Amino acid sequence: MSQSTETSQVLENKKNIKWLQRLKEESWEAELLVSAIAIFGTFQLFGFIEWVTNKFIDLLPVEQYIYGYFIVFLGLLAISILVSMFIIHFSLRAYWIGLVGLNSVFSDYGIEDSAYSKIYTEKILGILPKQEETIQKVDELSSVIFSAAFTILLIYMYMSVFLSVYMLIYNLLIDYIPSYILLIPLFICLILLILQSIFSIIGNLKKFKTNVWVQTWMFKFVRLTAMVTYGPLYKYLLQVSMVFGSNFKKKKSLVFLILLFFVSGMCVSVVKIFDTNIIYLQIEQSYYKSEMYLSYYNDQNPDNTFVLTPQIQSDIIENNMVKLFIPIFRHEQNYQDDVCGVLVDDQNLSSLENRTLARQFSLDCYTKYIVVKLNGQIVKLDFLKKNHQSSGQQGITGFIEKEFLQKGKNNIEVSKNLGDVREFKWSIPFYY
């Protein structure tokens, strides 16, 4: 009875091995299909990065812009690497299919039937790899790309999400808890990363590879750091990285392929960063008086999804007045109390009357830190709240009547003074 059970188990194991082997041999079909779909899908993720960037610009306090920059750039880099991987994978797998098809017709190089001389053919074949060898190498490279691609994507995206949530919690609690307490989790992560790096460098030195104490502590710090930085995914991410690391000496070409993905991904991210507003989070945008930026004129940005600058209707005004829209970012509320004070509800008024007073208080507040000049002279505008017609952003709108305009070139200067944090300035030239 026992022997029969063991025989059944052996047969079952052989069956599973055959199924897995067959799946490996036929996986290229699924890879090619998924790769083609993934190339299209991952390109759409660039739009998500643009949306997150605009949300950071709108919500984050100006002094935290630099942190938002690192978060969205991490996400952009992850998507760029993923796009590069899928494009390279699609190209390699398509090349592999061509090689397999060619090998099915011509299984080896020919000498007797060559269109060239025997001497030339033998010499040129001496520097070319065997068809089977090339097919095997290309197949190996194509097969590992998916695991590497999604591992890198998960690492970068998890870090981006984790840091975004951390910043959200930090800003929600900063008014109630001292900042040094809120920064403790971040300091713990940094200390763990530093200790892991130190032990990884020391542990990989030849004289310490047999040192039990060093290797044990390196293992502990790597596991603990992975648990903190990768969260519930840490075992699966470590699994993939260890597959590559433990086979490094045997398959060095695969590791170098991963480095190629990083380089190509960096190149893609450098190109795509200019299609977003990520740079705005790192570098204060400079607007020169002598340049007519497209973002200043609504008729030249009819489908604008996010407005960074004030806008007028056109660079040539033919109407009786100029319509000026100024976007109001949500983070400006963090600085309004210092400029305008705090409005307290009047208990003798109804909730509707208090809301009306609050709205008027906000409009009056905007005029205290937003200054509008026309041709060098301060203009007092009667602002009204208005959402932008295409982006839906909150903002204020004012109108400059024709008697204040001069024939020919005019210039509107708008400045927002957020105290010691930053002053934003725009100069909008137009012709009347």
Structure tokens at 82: 């993923």
State the Cα–Cα distance between residues 180 and 201, nearest whole angstrom: 30
φ, ψ at 385 (rounded to 5°): -70, 140
Is the separation of the CB atoms in 412 and 312 below 8 Å? yes
Q: How far apart are CA 131 and CA 106, in angstroms?
A: 10
**Between 232 and 411, whose confidence is greater?**
411
The residue written with tokens 């052989």 in the block is 14
SS (H, E, C) 169-215: HHHHHCCCCCHHHHCHHHHHHHHHHHHHHHHHHHHCCHHHCCCHHHH
Cβ neighbours of residue 210 under 8 Å, at least 6 residues apart? Answer: none
Report the half-sphere exposure of 407 (CA within 13 A, side-chain side). 0
| Whole-number Å distance between alpha carbons of 129 and 136 | 11
pLDDT at 225: 84
Burial of 177-216, coded b for 16+ CB within 10 Å and e otherwise, reads eeeeebeeeeeebeebeebbeebeeebeeeeeeeeeebbe
Give the chain's radius of gyration (CA, Å): 31
Record the pTM. 0.72
pLDDT of residue 16: 47
Cβ-Cβ contacts under 8 Å for 109 (sequence gap 6 or more) = 121, 125, 128, 131
In single-letter form, the type of residue at position 90 comes to F
| Helices and strands in the chain: count of H runs, count of E runs | 12, 7
The full DSSP string for 238-299 is HHHHHHHHHTTTT-HHHHHHHHHHHHHHHHHHHHHGGGSSHHHHHSPPP--TT---GGGBGG
Structure tokens at 413: 């200067």
Per-residue pLDDT at 10 exceeds 50: no
Q: Is the pLDDT reported for residue 243 higher than 70?
A: yes
Region 96-105 average pLDDT? 77
Ramachandran category for residue 392: left, alpha or beta (phi over 0 → left; psi -120 to 50 → alpha): left
Query: Residues 24-37: pLDDT tens digits?
Result: 455 556 666 666 67
Q: How far is the first Cα of the chain from the last one, in angstroms, to the nearest whole number? A: 100
Above 50 in pLDDT, residue 276? yes
Structure tokens at 189: 């992560």
pLDDT digits (tens, 9 = 90+) for 278-311: 888 877 666 777 788 888 888 887 777 888 889 9
| φ/ψ of residue 312, rounded to 5 | -115, 175
What value does the mean pLDDT of the chain take? 79
Alpha carbons 315 and 308: distance in angstroms, whole number: 17
